Structure 1
Amino acid sequence: MSTTKLPPNTPPIVSAQEWEAARVDMLAKEKAHTHARDALMAERRQMPWLAVENKYIFDGPNGRVNLLDLFEGRRQLIVYRAFFEPGVHGWPQHACIGCSMVADQVSHLSHLHARDTTLAYASRAPQADIKRLKSQMGWQHIPWYTITDSFDADFGVAEWHGHNAFIRDGDRIFRTYFINSRGDEAIGTVWSFLDMTALGRQEEWEKSPAGYPQSRPYKWWNWHDSYVPDAAPDPKWVEVSDAGEAAMRSRDS
């Protein structure tokens, strides 16, 4: 049991009724924050795109690949530049402590894949070291490549970590967004990854350009071992989630 004392100047101790009133007041502010964030994400989806002309070559677990290969056939790609290489604190036993915390937060990738989006990591360490690190740290689910050229310098991640988002049209690739510094603190959930992409969560409530892929919220969700491409939503889950939505609307009203 901890014997550490609380710091001075803590908030007041109040009754249950006072606490609930304070929570309701804070909830209103949190909802306003959420709505403002939704508007910001909609603005992000209107960002211009930058054509990527260089092929960029990486070493992968099965040999040389280019940036297009990193998409794994999906429409969107997010590449996180993780620092694992000579000269980085922790080498060769560990990757950068901060980058390792980011990797620890990566959720199950099947949900991203269901939204036609791939996540990949890239470092300058050789593949043998990357394979060892992934096994040691439990990161086998993350595709992880070795940078061999100017990819990191060209995309703002030569000296510091960051997530770059891309989209493809056939073989043509476009850079759509970039998150780094403290922005990386919030990355790791399915929603945080999708929110940084050009297509967003691809749900009907989102304000996106006309023609963007969108479906009903909640309905595309599935167990991570049960996704089937282009399958209709589980009818029982549609029933359950519809009831949940109705209950939330009734409560909020």
Structure 2
Amino acid sequence: MQPHKIVSREEWIEARKLHMAHEKEYTRARDRLSEERRALPWVKVDKAYLFDGPNGKLTLADLFKGRSQLVVQHFMFAPDWNEGCKSCSFWADGFERITPHLAARDTTLVAISRAPLSKLDAFKARMGWTFDWLSSAGNDFNYDYAVSFTPEQIKSQAKVYNFGTSGFGVEEAPGISVFYRDEAGNIFHTYSCFARGLDMMNATYHYLDLTPLGRHEEGLPYPMDWLRLRDQYKPEA
């Protein structure tokens, strides 16, 4: 880290106020972006999907739990994996306790993975999570929403991820998809995001962004190389 200039409290306040002006510019730009996102066109979901849940088979409509909005966290967990993706788990630790707040605003959040329900339940218990986690092992949901890829797609290095802007080297990828259900029961796909689009949903990263060292991922083999499952860090001294 480069040495920082040490100044008086008064000088620091002036520098901070200048930076705050830039923060306000970003806030206003983010508000405009959110408004534009809400105005995007929708796609009607006509395909039927059945998911495996703790109490049996569930349709996409069932996942709403009577609410009008559904957020799906595409959690990387392939059928032959023994544990979930550490990066997706990093996000899951952040959204674990927010579901009641979302429900108060007519929104349900669930996680969906291709691994069988037995593996999801076991990993969920290990991590101490309580959010709803469904298995899409018996349907094409993950493939239709571009977070699972066939061996042929991976081998060809086809640009199949993030709306055709990049390839993905493994069979599972992270993402978030949003759906709306109207009073007649019609379901619409309204939004999806992938890659760095997921960034703003990770509170830990944004707390780190407030610190002098930031995310401190420079020089690592890849940005999240430092990350571990929550129960795999060395005990604190």
1:4-39 CA distance string (max 9 Å, x none): xxx3x3221111111110000000110111011101
Does 1:42 find its partner at 2:30?
Answer: no
Q: Which runs of 5+ in 1 are unaligned?
A: 1-6, 190-253
1:43-96 CA distance string (max 9 Å, x none): 111100001010111111111111111111100001111112345xxx31x211
Match of 2:146 among 149, 156, 164: 156
Does 1:146 find its partner at 2:135?
Answer: yes
Does 1:103 find its partner at 2:96?
Answer: no
Does 1:16 find its partner at 2:5?
Answer: no
Match of 1:167 among 165, 180, 183: 180
Tell me how large the CA RMSD over aligned residues is. Answer: 1.3
* Residue 244 (structure 1) aligns with: none
How far apart, in 2, do the equivalents of 1:72 and 1:102 lie? 23
Q: CA contact under 8 A between 1:102 and 1:185: conserved in structure 2? A: no
Q: One-letter code of the match for 1:183?
A: G
* Residue 121 (structure 1) aligns with: 111
1:149-201 CA distance string (max 9 Å, x none): 11111112113110000001132100000111012122157xxxxxxxxxxxx
SS in 2 for 1:105: helix
* Residue 181 (structure 1) aligns with: 195
Does 1:69 find its partner at 2:74?
Answer: no
SS in 2 for 1:33: helix
Q: Which runs of 5+ in 2 are unaligned?
A: 149-171, 204-237
How far apart, in 2, do the equivalents of 1:75 and 1:188 lie? 24
How far apart, in 2, do the equivalents of 1:11 and 1:156 lie? 44
How far apart, in 1, do the equivalents of 2:39 and 2:202 lie? 23
Q: TM-score, normalised by structure 2?
A: 0.72
* Residue 120 (structure 2) aligns with: 130
1:207-232 CA distance string (max 9 Å, x none): xxxxxxxxxxxxxxxxxxxxxxxxxx
How far apart, in 2, do the equivalents of 1:60 and 1:145 lie? 5
- Which of 1 and 2 has greater Rg? 1
How far apart, in 2, do the equivalents of 1:101 and 1:186 lie? 13
SS in 1 for 2:16: helix
Q: How does 1:213-252 map onto structure 2 within 5 Å?
A: none
Q: One-letter code of the match for 1:187?
A: M
How high is the sequence identity, in percent, across the aligned residues? 43
Q: TM-score, normalised by structure 1?
A: 0.67
Shift of 1:108: 2.3
Q: One-letter code of the match for 2:188?
A: F
How far apart, in 2, do the equivalents of 1:139 and 1:57 lie? 23
Match of 1:33 among 26, 42, 61: 26
SS in 1 for 2:179: strand
User: Which 4+ runs in 1 deviate beyond 4 A?
Assistant: none
